[in-house]
Structures are given as C-alpha cells and as structure tokens.
C-alpha cells in the first residue's frame, strides 16, 4: 500500500475564538429578534369585532 503524504498547508483552528464567535452571533441574533419584535409591536393594528 502506498504511504499517504500528510497535508502540510492546513490553517490553524482556534477553538476558543470559534466558540466565542458562535456565542456572539447567538447574542446578536437575540438582539435583532428583540428589535424586530419591538418594531412590529409599534405598527398600528386595526381591531376586529367578533360578530
């Protein structure tokens, strides 16, 4: 069987930075969702009467 050459050009992976980024993105998404909810609640709505 032929010996495989190791891959030498692999970029480094910083797991701590990646995890921080995932949590930052989650916090940002929560903040954007809250902003969208507040904006929607400010839209005037016509009240409907039930017959």
- Any idea which residue has 């980024």 for tokens? 21
Distances (CA, A) of 35 to 23, 26, 47, 48: 18, 14, 24, 26
Neighbour count for residue 7 (Cβ, 10 Å) = 6
- The predicted-structure confidence for 13-27, as pLDDT tens digits, reads as follows 899 999 999 999 999
> How many helices (H) does the chain have, and how many strands (E)?
1, 0
The predicted structure's pLDDT at residue 24? 98
Model pLDDT, residue 3: 85
Question: Vertex 37, ends 32 and 42: CA angle to 5°?
Answer: 125
The separation between CA 27 and the C-alpha centre of its own chain, rounded to angstroms, equals 8
What is the tens place of the pLDDT at every residue in 27-42? 999 999 999 999 999 9
pLDDT surpasses 70 at 51: no
The pLDDT confidence band at residue 10, using thresholds 50, 70 and 90, is confident
């Amino acid at each position: 069987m032929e010996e495989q050459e190791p891959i030498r050009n692999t970029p480094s992976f910083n797991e701590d930075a990646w995890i921080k980024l995932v949590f930052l993105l989650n916090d940002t998404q929560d903040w954007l969702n809250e902003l969208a909810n507040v904006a929607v609640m400010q839209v005037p709505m016509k009240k409907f009467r039930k017959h």
